[in-house]
Amino acid sequence: MKLIILDRDGVINFDSDRFIKNPDEWKPIPGSLEAIASLNQAGHRVVIATNQSGIGRGLFDMAALNAIHDKLYRALAQVGGRIDALFYCPHAADLNCPCRKPRPGMLEEIARRFNTDLTGVPAIGDALRDLEAAVAVGAQPVLVLTGKGRRTQETGGLPEGTLIFKDLAEAAKQVIQTS
Positions annotated as catalytic residues are 7, 9
Q: What is the CA radius of gyration of the chain?
A: 15
Residue 16 neighbours by CB under 8 Å, 6+ apart: 9, 25
CA 42 to chain centre: 19
Report which residue type is found at 157.
Answer: G
Q: How far apart are CA 38 and CA 55, in angstroms?
A: 31
Q: Would you say 39 and 4 are in contact if contact means Cβ atoms under 8 Å apart?
A: yes
Q: Would you say 35 and 83 are in contact if contact means Cβ atoms under 8 Å apart?
A: no
